Structure 1
Amino acid sequence: MKIVTQVKLIPKADQAAALRSTLRTVNEAANWVSGVAFERSVPREYELRKHTYAELKAQGLGAQAAQHVIKKTRDAYTTLKANIKAGNLGKPASKRRRKAESKPIVFRPEAAQPYDDRCLSWQYDQQTVSIWTTAGRLRGVRFACSPDALRMLREHRKGESDLIERDGAFYLIAVCDIPEPEVYEPAGFVGVDLGIVNIATASTGYRAAGRGLNRHRKRQLDLRKKLQAKGTKSAKRLLKKPSRKEARHTANVNHIISKTIVTTAERTGSGIALEDLTGIRSRVRLRKDQRTSLHSWSFHQLGQYIEYKAKRAGVPLVYVDPAYTSQQCSECGHIDRKNRVDQATFACRSCGALMHADDNASHNIGRMAKTVWTAGRESRVPAIP
């Protein structure tokens, strides 16, 4: 499996200037390539290379850098096409989709630039890198990371690394290819119900309340409103910091929750069952005052964290259809919309079972996972001689 490891570069003043100039140059070049791809409707990387490679070389880019600029641009259009096909940008007549289709893709001056082993080499013992720039090859650029990250890089780094600039600091995001352990046969499944009031509720009894995270989001939202109303240059500059702070805080919370769930499943020899919530934001209709909470809900990120942690531990993971999981009684199977009394209370109208609504849903998800796992695994019937 592939995971990414981030390290922070600690360049000298002249090295930092060279790295910054390089990112500006390659992203300006990527914007020019993007314009060519949009004008000519070039569908494939090879054809785009015929129209742009010679000009990029004439602009002073190295052969590998030019190739990466072209590939980065082509990948961006591939991603845009996939998002349009999946409906992530709305219906054909929607304003967002028309805007995305009507102009070339634009790259930020500090956007990531990929490097392969010809343009970037690592010296793990010295904790330095040698990296290509438009000013020439920079050698001995120091980097900082945790001991675990350094061991991960030394043992498993493979493929490309991305150079990015964030808040004036430079980072390398390296791809590590880790062997996946064999997935074991689960004794049962831990059902996980994802929500906003309670971020995650597991059928084991574990519940991650969202009260603290939601309070943090509200504080950041109120701060953004004040800064937007002020409208000064300093206010706009400060607007960037709360968003990144909120994203880091949310990611940290999701890492803690996902680690707890995966560790519990691994210790008990169980699998993990999650709801397939694809497209839920477009399906659900809410009042205007509830939309911010829905669109701030980071269920996809939490699901990704659980998925990759489960893969690293060899824990089986399945996705189930979330339909009626909140209306069906986990005791008798009776489905009724009125079973869900309120957000927190579930009272079955058939058997009288009374429990927390999220606990009930998590038990339903865990039970459904057994059926999905049995249907999806390979047949164990002996072959006919």
Structure 2
Amino acid sequence: MKYTTKALHTKYPKSDTFGALRTPIYQNAAFEYASSQELEDVFTGKTAGHTYSRASNPTIEELENKIKSITSSKGVVATSSGMAAISNTFFALLKSGDNIITTNKLFGHTLSFFQNTLVDFGIDVRYVDICSQDSIKNAIDEKTKVIFFETISNPELIIPNIKMLSTIAKENNLVLIADTTMTPFYLFDSKKHGIDIDVLSATKYISAGGVAVGGIIIDNGNYDWSKFQNLEKFHTKFGINAFISKLKKQTFRNIGSCLSPQNAYMLSLGLETLALRADRTKDNTKEVAYFLNDHTKVKSVNYPLLKTNPYYDEAKEYFLFPGSILTFDLEDKQSAYKFMDKLELVRRSTNIQDNKSLIIAPYHTIYSEYTDEQKRSFGLREGTLRLSVGIEDIEDLIVDLSQALEDL
């Protein structure tokens, strides 16, 4: 079965009492059992079941099972946000004294997590050119545990050589973790391309219009957890499920970053129409990119499917298409703000992959906690705008962008 059929027809393990076609919202904290022994058996893992919604919940489990079916993965954990997916993954894998390899060309809050949170737990974060094989290899030592990257960096839109990253990770017994928010599983088969763990924000494409905040952790089953010393105890007991078991029975449960049943229900609905919405944004984004690229008042346009883009070949090789985000440069901050304030359809907002088109100036907002020098080292510029293209009628989007550019 293909993506949408799986999203619509993956069956929940138990039939609904009333024959509902959709798993209900189990909006409750605790679950009762007919006997004390049954309750004990669920707590000890002898019997599958739910005890408390911080640890698991039927509505959330339905979302996880659906994604597991779509991705053919080993296990899935749904979290309260994309950042919760990232933080839980690293807290489950790492110990004080370990190091990870990544880049400083990352989403601002991910970068902040590495620079201001993870280091406080004794983790050494090593920043390299993620597109350079030599740079990555030279940073690896006996304490290195993970290589982390974004399939398409936000907002720089860098696409690394994923095949090269997978090879390096395998040669050095490292866990390869990808933030696939910009290219979720309908657009990118991470398992096929050697990714061990996916983390992504479900708030974007999956939520079908920014209606729910959530995150997803996916274990693709590519990594042999018997070789990962930090999970030795869990591998002895749970085998190939060591990572997911560590999350569910310890890290995720103890940190308490659970998704709400209401949000799980909304995200499950969003999965069913993701392909339809994504395909519409693909066509719209290409048209907008061509329009801006030809406009005399736009200094430059960054979109991987422009043939002049340095990552055009990577975009064609790895993805169904490279998402709905593009960036473009105007002369300076004043021009960028004047343009944004003239827009009538495109909304000034920080989310991406919404049904509505959204625009923001990352230099002055998402990265506002950093100095100008730091922002420039991340590849950011004052006149850069990030545009998340929605599903509006393309003619109306072009008219709105055109009228906002007129007075510059």
The TM-score bracket by the shorter chain reads under 0.3
Specify which structure has the higher proportion of helix.
1
TM-score (ref. length: structure 1): 0.24
Specify which structure has the higher proportion of strand.
1
TM-score (ref. length: structure 2): 0.23
